[in-house]
Amino acid sequence: MSSAEKKSKRSGAEMSGDTCTLHTDGIPPDTLSKVQVYLERFHLSLEKLQEVSARLRKDLVRGLGKHSHHRAPVKMLPTFVRATPDGTEKGDFLALDLGGTNFRVLHVRVVEEQQRVLKMDSQICAIPKEMMLGPGEQLFDHIAACLNDFLVSQELKGQTLPLGFTFSFPCEQKEIDKSILIRWTKGFNCSGVEGKDVVKLLKEAIHRRGDYDIGSVAMVNDTVGTMMSCGYRDQSCEIGMIIGTGTNACYMEEMKNVRRVEGEDGRMCINTEWGGFGDDGSLKDIQTEFDVVVDETSINPGVHTFEKMISGMYLGEIVRLLLVRLTEDKLLFKGQTSEALLTPEAFQTKFISEIEEQDDGLENTQNILTKLGLNWDLVDSCVVRLVCDAVSSRSARLCGAALATLANRIRVNRRLDRLKTTVGVDGTVYRKHPTFSEELRATVRLLVPECDITFLVSEDGSGKGAAMVTAVAQRLAHQSRLLEESDGEEEEEEEEEEGQ
């Protein structure tokens, strides 16, 4: 079956509100019916997706509330990004992207005439394992040293350039240049950083060196960077979404609804942290026994419930647990597992994308099963493809339901009968899986037909997007200064007239 035929078949199933299971050819009816008992929990009806969307809608409001946000599973963090690009931004910027065992330093140039964001050059710096667990001061000294090396290599030493800082850990942002680390994740546990302002720690490390300086700093969540990097190309981009190792989204909310920040006018980008959706138990009815095991054996049990059902860090493990259970029930591999199949995280999420490829999927499946030390036959290959399809399909549809909630909130906020907007999107699951993006888009169309959504894949949101956040912040600050000067001149003129 071709990719187009598969999408068409899926869309037809969605019109009836049920998911369509594929790859059933070659599976005997008796085996198929027994396998489907395990997979039916992954097949979410239209009605169930509407329920999930309604629950998220309530959580968005709780997260925005002045007094309710402390207890909200969806944190709805203000980013202090108050506008999207308008196309007049320009200049040279540095970007610093810290979110894993490596970090990047970039030199980015924004060209107004061409409305382009150019990555001039970049450098990747490793963070040794021991540094990820050592004193925070040591980590920031290392970052400052790498930033110095980059400035020297680019002959930028002596210039004081603004910097966009993408710091992909849970933070509470107080201002555009003040962000408090809530907790370390992704294997980091540096002492003396949690509860502190990471911008201040970076500036202190640069000051300790004393041989260069940086200009204004804008803190950027990677989701916001995704939205902003697309926003320069398409100024109707007001949602950013990432579906990769983890998942998250941001969107432009009306200031009057952001109760935690003073001010009623305009809009502000909200970092939803929607990975935490369901942490209060609201998704228990759609969690499977396999989701529960994935959560209980993770490094953060009870946290990021939604993320664990849909993101790349966990999808492979959900499939592995399913395959183990089906093997134990003698529905796969003649009941014989292998050491690899019984090893947690041995079934990588990228295997799902390879298995679901239209042209080479069956051959890929068989190669992967051989690598995992399994004795397979043709029926086994088809069942494994069916399992992968069920897990990835649920991921796409849940993500679509969450995105539909954000789009509809923007539409309702603005009292529009119809909303046209663009979503900037990034992440390996969205980019690499052969049908994920199409199924996500089909789900959104089904749930919010009043919203016309264009999807734009981000070009380096954590680099170019960070520069764009900095550029927009500079533009707004410049406009604010001009307004203040204008007001001051008017006041002087009025005083002179009164004196006469």
Q: What is Dmax (Cα atoms) for the chain?
A: 101
178 φ, ψ (degrees, to nearest 5): -140, 115
Predicted pLDDT at 461: 80
Is residue 19 located within the same domain as residue 125?
no
Q: Tokens representing 301? A: 């049990």
> Residue 102's domain spans which residues?
91-220
Is residue 303 located within the same domain as residue 363?
yes
In this structure, is residue 154 part of a structural domain? yes
Is residue 362 located within the same domain as residue 296?
yes
In this structure, is residue 257 part of a structural domain? no
Q: Please indicate whether residue 265 is annotated as part of the active site.
A: no
- Residue that terminates a domain, selected from 220, 236, 264: 220
203 φ, ψ (degrees, to nearest 5): -65, -35
Is residue 333 located within the same domain as residue 413?
yes
Question: 209: domain CATH number?
Answer: 3.30.420.40
Predicted pLDDT at 303: 92
Angle in degrees, 0-180, between the axes of helices 378-413 and 436-447, rounded to the nearest 10: 40
Q: Please indicate whether residue 222 is annotated as part of the active site.
A: yes
Predicted pLDDT at 150: 96
0.75 exceeded by the pTM?
yes
Is residue 361 located within the same domain as residue 452?
yes
Is residue 199 located within the same domain as residue 307?
no
Question: What does the pLDDT profile of the chain (500 residues) look like in tens digits?
Answer: 444 344 434 443 443 333 334 567 789 999 999 999 999 999 999 999 999 999 999 999 999 999 999 899 999 999 999 998 888 888 899 999 987 778 999 999 888 776 677 888 999 999 998 999 999 999 999 999 999 999 999 999 999 999 999 988 888 889 999 999 988 887 789 999 999 999 999 999 999 999 999 999 999 888 999 999 898 889 999 999 999 989 999 999 999 999 888 888 999 999 999 999 999 999 999 999 999 999 999 988 999 999 999 999 999 999 999 999 999 999 999 999 999 999 999 999 999 999 999 889 999 999 999 999 999 999 999 999 999 999 999 999 999 999 999 999 999 999 999 999 999 999 999 999 999 999 999 999 999 999 999 999 998 887 888 889 998 988 888 888 887 777 656 666 666 666 66
Question: 350: domain CATH number?
Answer: 3.40.367.20
- Residue that terminates a domain, selected from 201, 220, 239: 220
How far is it, in rounded angstroms, from Cα 14 to Cα 37?
Answer: 20
Q: Which of 222, 389, 426, 460 is catalytic?
A: 222
Alpha-helical runs (H) found in 21-97: 29-39, 46-64
In this structure, is residue 288 part of a structural domain? yes
Is residue 48 located within the same domain as residue 121?
no
Is residue 444 located within the same domain as residue 334?
yes
How far is it, in rounded angstroms, from Cα 434 to Cα 353?
Answer: 6
8 A C-beta contact, residue 161 and residue 93? yes
Characterize the bridge pairing of strands 102-111 and 451-457.
unpaired
In this structure, is residue 487 part of a structural domain? no
- How many alpha carbons fall within 13 Å on the CB side of residue 456? 24
Is residue 154 located within the same domain as residue 32?
no
Is residue 122 located within the same domain as residue 42?
no
Is residue 208 located within the same domain as residue 290?
no
Question: Domain tally for the chain?
Answer: 2
Q: Which of 34, 186, 200, 432 is catalytic?
A: 186
- Tokens 């680099």 belong to 463
Taking Cα atoms as reference points, which of 295, 299, 246 lies closest to residue 271? 246
List, as one string, the DSSP characters of 263-332.
Answer: --SSEEEEE--GGGTTTTSTTTTT--HHHHHHHHTSSSTTS-HHHHHHSHHHHHHHHHHHHHHHHHTTSS
DSSP class of residue 135 equals B
Render the burial of 233-247: b for 16+ CB within 10 Å, e for the rest: bbeebbbbbbbbbbb
Is residue 406 located within the same domain as residue 446?
yes
Predicted pLDDT at 115: 66
How far is it, in rounded angstroms, from Cα 310 to Cα 399?
Answer: 7
In this structure, is residue 245 part of a structural domain? no
In this structure, is residue 23 part of a structural domain? yes
In this structure, is residue 76 part of a structural domain? no
Predicted pLDDT at 496: 65
Give, in degrees to the nearest 5, the angle at Cα 240 between 93 and 237: 80
Predicted pLDDT at 63: 96
In this structure, is residue 266 part of a structural domain? no
Predicted pLDDT at 484: 77
